[in-house]
Structure formats: C-alpha cells, structure tokens
Amino acid sequence: MTIEANTISKATIFSSSNNWEEIIADKDFVSVFLLDVLEEYIQKQPWFGGKSSQIKYIKLTEYFKIQQDEEVYFGLILEVNFIEAFYHHYFLPIAFVADESVSKKNRIVPIKNKTGYIIDAIHLEDFRKVVYERISSALPVDKTPVQYHKTEGYELPEHKTSKGMGVEQSNTSIIYNDAFILKFFRRIYADKNPDYEMSRFLSHRKEFKHTPLFLGSINIIDSDNTNITIGLMQDDNFCVLDFEGEPKNTIRDRKIKQPPLRNVAGLFRYFHYAIYSTIFNYQDEYKKTQEELFQFGELLYKYMVSIFMKTYVETTKNANLHIGYRNERIFLLKYCLPEKAIYELGYELNSRPKWTIIPLKGIANILNP
C-alpha cells in the first residue's frame, strides 16, 4: 500500500504491505501519518483548539477498533504537543473509502495503488450507522475496551438516517432519524466529561424534564485503566443541550463552584454573539451602514438583557433563591462579563480566528458603555 499526502505542501510517499485492518500496527505508517499528514489536517478542523499555538509533534497514545461484522474503523487518541510546553488530547475516528465522491475537505490522505482515501469516519454514513446500532444493541454490562451503553428500558428504533448538525462546534454532533443526537467529544480528558455526568444525573436521578433524555454513551478504557467518554447520545428536543462548560478550560476548572450570575453573564454574551454574528454574516442584505447596524444591535442587546434580568430576578425571588442584592448583582456582572469576553477572544484565536471580531467588539462595548 502506498500513501501520498495531498493535504500537505510537500508530497510524502509511504508504502506498506499491510491491509486496512492491520495498518495501524505498522509503525512506519503511524510515523508518517502523524508527522506529515495529521499536523496540517487537524489545524484546519473547527474542533482543534490550538490554532494560535505551534505544534511540536503529534503522538498516537491509544487506538481501538470500532467494528460490526466485516466493517472495521479505527478510533485514534492523539496527543498534540505544543512548543509552548503544553498538550491536548483529541479523538479522531478514521475509515478507508474507495469513493471519489467523498468531499475533498473530509479526506485526510489518499491511498495510491489502492484507489481510495483515509477520511474522518464521522463523515461516513456507514460508520455513523455502526455506532448507532452498537449503542442500540448494547449489553447491560460491557467490560470490553470500547464500551457501548444504553439507557435501561429504552429501545432505540431502527436506524434510518443520520446527518451532521451543520454548525461549527468544539465537538461533532450527529442527528439520527431526526430524533436523537450523538455528540462525539473531540478534545478529551482523563476524567468524566461534565456533559456526560450532568445528562445522566438530570435524566436518571432528578427526572428533569427540560434537558434531553440521556440515551447512551461510548466509553473507552485507556492504558492507565481510565474511563474516557468519547460519545454521548441524547433525545433531540428543544431544550438545554450543552452542559460541557467552557471547552478551552480543563474539566477540573469547569467543576469549580461559581456564582450563578457567572452563567447569566455567559448567556448575555450569547445574546451579543447572536446579534453581531448576524450583522457580520448578513451585512450585505441590510441597507443601513455598519455603524447604524451596531447602534441597532446595542439597543436590541440591552433590551434582551433587561427583559431577561427582570424575569430572572423575579423567578429566583419567587423560588426563595438569593442571588444577591441589586448592587451586588451589578458588581458581579461587571466582573463576569469582561472575563467571559476575554475567554471568548482566546477561544476564537485558537478555534475560529475569523470570529475574533465578535469578542473584540464585546470587549470594546464593555469598556466603553
């Protein structure tokens, strides 16, 4: 097997006599694949959170098979080391396809003399179906390295369709049968994911009705016997979906107890993002100048914040919850809003550099009300 990387600036040729099922065991293949192919590929992905840093090297720390009958895919756990002396871990499932119709942006590397490509398997319908069916048929107790879990007493219907959610995320979400969502966690940690923990807790222990029902998950056991969540399946309803917290922060940092107004500040920043992303993305469709649109945007933002805050304070008072007196609430929001905006700037620099204009506009507005 010969591999020629067309995703990098200088061509890299590699030969291997191994078939697809054995290719990851080939150390020469892994060396070339990590060094000359993946480094450039992952930097173009929306889920990669190190775009403002320089990669030192990429290491394959774990790999495992995701399979059903004759279909075999590989799950890779990649350790990305940066020159600035820190590292991230990412989950990347890969597949081999002999199909020229595969979108070029989904191709990782072509395989010469064995017409086809290695691609990110999440973009492949067959892979998504295998994962769905493995969760659907999961046993109550699974002690294998790749563990599929399903909520006891719930039967998933037959797989019909699957598609990507179609928005940029730090993770990748798949919609099944227009009814269920499976979120693949791209950046992973040697700890339980808070999205996974909160979803299970609210679904099973508290029977909270305003979050998606926890339906299943995919976990792996690494070489240190640590249980790592790589996938979370939920019911697809219009409700609170994401409990993962700020993806740039470590899970330990995300679990630190914070005042509830910090989350309110985060919601206000979402309002700001929604308004200004609309202005920047659809500016040509409006007859007003950008400065006029900014003025209208600020009026809309202040109105949304005012309505939300009035309702929020009344609701917490009626529930006998104390969130501070008026001056205390103002002080906390004045502290949390710029903190959130500065975090967003760092996140966008690492993930979506073109979007940095939005947090920068937010910071400017906060400093010059």
**Residues 196 and 175 grouped into a single domain:** yes
- Domain end point (choices 212, 247, 282): 247
Q: Is residue 173 part of a domain?
A: yes
Bridge partner list, 80: 58, 88
How large is the average pLDDT for residues 142-165?
87
78-130 pLDDT, tens digit per residue, is 999 999 888 999 999 999 888 777 777 778 887 765 567 889 999 999 999 99
pLDDT in tens, 179-225: 888 889 898 887 777 778 888 888 777 667 777 788 889 988 876 66
- 243 and 314 co-located in one domain: no
Q: Is the pLDDT of residue 44 over 50?
A: yes
Mean pLDDT of 332-348: 89
Name residue, tokens 């191994």. 18
Element (H, E) at 75: strand 71-82
Q: What was the pLDDT predicted at 21?
A: 82
How high is the pLDDT of residue 193?
75
pLDDT at position 17, please?
65
Domain-terminating residue out of 73, 100, 121: 121
For residue 255, is it within any domain? no
User: How far is 21 from 273, CA to CA, in rounded Å?
Assistant: 45
Q: How many domains does the chain have?
A: 3
Report yes or no on 100 lying in a domain.
yes
- CA 9 – CA 72 distance, rounded (Å): 30
Task: Domain of residue 100: give its range.
Answer: 2-121
Closest by CA to 97, choosing from 71, 68, 123, 117, is 117
Give CA–CA dist 351/369, Å, rounded. 28
pLDDT over 70 for what percent of the chain? Answer: 85
Under DSSP, is residue 233 helix (H, G, I), strand (E, B) or coil?
Answer: strand
Q: Which DSSP state fits 283?
A: G
> 140 with 97, same domain?
no
- 12 falls in which pLDDT band (50, 70, 90)? very low
Residue 112 CB-density burial (10 A; 0-12 exposed, 13-18 middle, 19+ buried) = middle
The answer to whether residue 254 sits within a structural domain is no
Residue 252 located in a structural domain: no
**pLDDT computed for residue 245 by the predictor:** 58
DSSP structural state of residue 231: E
The overall average pLDDT reported for the chain is 82
Q: Say which range, 16-20, 69-73, 308-312, 339-343, has the weakest mean pLDDT.
A: 16-20
When comparing pLDDT for 168 and 346, which is higher?
A: 346
- 52 or 303: which carries more pLDDT confidence? 303
50 within a domain of the structure (yes/no): yes
Query: 49-62 b/e with 16+ CB inside 10 Å = b?
Result: bbbebebeebebeb
Residue 231 burial by Cβ neighbours in a 10 Å radius (0-12, 13-18, 19+): buried
For 160-176, write each residue's pLDDT tens digit: 999 988 766 788 889 99
